[in-house]
Chains A and B, each alone.
Chain A
Amino acid sequence: MSKRSTTVYWTGFSIILALLIVAPLVLPEFWRRFVTEILIWGLLAMSSDILIGYTGMVSFGHSAFFGLGMYGAAAALLMVKPPNLWLAILYGLIGSAAVALFVAYFSTRLRDIYFAITTLIFSQIFYVIIFTWTEVTGGENGLSFRRPPLAIPGLFSVPFSSETLHWFVLAVVTASYLILRRITQSPFGMVLQSIRENEARTRAIGYAVERYKMVAVMLSGLFAGLAGVLYAIQNRFAAPDFVYFLVSGETVIFNVIGGIGTLVGPIVGAGFFLLLREAFSRFFTEYYLIPVGVIFIAMVIFMPQGLLGFMRRWLNQ
């Protein structure tokens, strides 16, 4: 990356980061939560971009990773007293890792469309299990719990305020972005992109393509699960609705709208979609999905590279 590009990139990054840090201080409560939600859904979409944008595997299974992250956190917060933030994160990651392992094992041998459909069906399997296993998961009604404090055991413990929660989420999402960016630029990331470009050739060169795919799914699942944990902490409940495949579908929509293969694109896509939804639901009440859906289809046809697609090369240097 040329010196000038690097400076431009990091300057832009810092500016946006600064804006996001300041946001909760200047915005009214509703919009504060809105920005936090965009970050969380953005993290989910970013995790999905690892598969769609970098490895070339469209997955409809992210609702399962997200949901299990959410329920994992719920488990920690309900079973262990006093509620511990880090335990919640740990349990959530374990939950989503387990699901990711399951999905990875079965699906990575399948190509393209079969993979997409299978991940869809898998996320529905988890939905049905969670929905019907009422004793453990609360079934239809889900689980609610208390928000854990921001605490380092032995040092301090302070409950989250709306601002500090936002900053915590921002910190987690930013760190995730930087980690994922590092990974996509590493040799491992290069192999993934090579798989996306031409799987047969990558295999012919000698790479164990299935193993790389499995790691990609696990990676994607972990960060999706992390998003689920953040959501659980913010909203203090876990519900089966979030495991329903529609959530996976919306994630893919964020990816496409924002631009796949850019990592930040999906976050922008999430923001764009959620803003559209806010705007349209003022006029169209519950039927906002009709115009939003039409816009989405139009983008798939006419602007398949997404909003940030034109910046893709530059963002990946």
Chain B
Amino acid sequence: MGIEDFLAAIPWEKIIIQTVNGIVTGMILALIASGLTLIFGIMDVVNFAHGELFMLGAYIGVVVMATSGSFWLALVIATLVIALLGAALQITTLRPLLGRDPLTTILATFGLSLVLQNYALWQFGPVARKIQEPFTGYFTLFYLEYPWYRLLIAALSAGIIGAFWLFLKYGKYGVWIRATTQDRVMAQAMGIPVPWVHTGAFAIGAGMAAASGVLFGPLVGVNHAMGVDWILKAFIVVVVGGMGSLGGSIAASIFISLLEAYASIWVSPAQAVIVSFVVLILTLLFRPTGLFVPTPK
């Protein structure tokens, strides 16, 4: 078998299609993981309920769309409402735990995720809902009719992350967040109201999760358990990308999503998730501080 036969045997079309798919999924995952990383980096809280914030964002999207018919309105309202919910949750359940064993926050947020999931089940029932895409429209990618909407998701997610990054770097409160993340104690000594910075950061993370929920909604059905798969992937991404590293989380999201997309050319999607598990194990074995983080001296 010559080179030409070998090259011909590689399913180029499928690979390119899956590259696009991988990037789309990767950007959504990046948006979710960024919020998780922000929350962890600034207050050492592993937010188990993050997937549920994603899920509730999608449901609010459903409700707003049903009443107003506007996708964009749904996106904005869901983000704001869940950001507020996030702030409320942080104030009631996480602030009292400040200064205690960090594992108590895992337990508290785990409890929250159970409550929120079942609340959604109670309010909306077990049948999946649908969010309509803001526009239908396809372009032809090889033998597929590929929806423009998917590319929009990737672009919007990238846009939101980019805006967030700019806010962190140049915004007034962005400096507060960065200072608090680096040294909570000295931030307080400089007059930065750290408890409120924590609340604000949690709200931002929650809002980002909600936005991903609305963006992702049209791709799959919206149901009460949709957050669970994403939270596990997001955890893997955060560990592989380096806990607390925003850039690492984004890179890891795209990396893992691409690998999974390629894997699903040959195996079923349910089995393709094993790819992310393998990446995690390899990372833990060889680069436990994170694949995309420079090894500490």
Q: Which residues of A contact B (CB under 8 A)?
A: 58, 106, 109-110, 112-114, 116-118, 120-121, 124-125, 128-129, 131-132, 245, 249, 252-253, 256, 286-287, 289-290, 292-294, 296-297, 300-301, 304
Contact = CB atoms under 8 A, between A and B. Distances in A.
Nearest to B238: A117
A128 B236 CA distance: 15
B100 interface: yes
Most buried by A among B118, B232, B268: B118
Most buried by A among B111, B235, B277: B111
Contact of A252 (B110, B236, B270, B271): B110
Contact of B115 (A112, A249, A297): A297
B103 A112 contact: yes
B107 A256 contact: yes
B271 A132 contact: yes
Contacts of A132: 268, 270-271
B224 to A, nearest CB: 11
Interface residues of B, number: 38
B108 interface: yes
B112 interface: yes
B208 to A, nearest CB: 20
Interface of B: 44, 46, 93, 96-97, 100, 102-104, 106-108, 110-112, 114-115, 117-119, 121-122, 232, 235-236, 239, 243, 268, 270-271, 273-274, 277, 280-281, 284-285, 288
Nearest to A109: B288
Contacts of A297: 93, 108, 111-112, 115
A128 B111 contact: no
Contact of A112 (B97, B102, B121): B102
B46 A117 contact: yes
Given A113-B103, A128-B274, A131-B270, 5 more contacts: A58-B106, A114-B239, A249-B114, A293-B118, A297-B108
Contact of B114 (A58, A113, A289): A289
> Would you call the interface of chain A mostly helix, strand, loop, or mixed?
helix
Nearest to A301: B96
Contact of A293 (B97, B104, B114, B288): B114
Contacts of A106: 281, 284-285
A81 to B, nearest CB: 32
15 contacts: A110-B288, A113-B44, A113-B103, A118-B239, A120-B232, A120-B235, A125-B274, A125-B277, A128-B270, A128-B274, A253-B111, A287-B122, A293-B115, A296-B107, A296-B114
Given A128-B277, A287-B118, A290-B122, A301 B284 contact: no
B100 A294 contact: no
B111 A304 contact: no
Most buried by B among A117, A128, A245: A117
Given A252-B110, A300-B104, A128 B115 contact: no
Contacts of B117: 289
Nearest to B276: A121
A57 to B, nearest CB: 9
Nearest to A289: B118
B46 A113 contact: yes
Nearest to B101: A304
Contact of B107 (A110, A112, A131, A300): A300
A117 B277 contact: no
A125 B232 CA distance: 11
Contacts of A128: 270-271, 273-274, 277
Nearest to A107: B284
Contacts of A131: 270
A41 B93 CA distance: 28
A136 B186 CA distance: 57
B97 A301 contact: yes
Contacts of A113: 44, 46, 102-103, 106
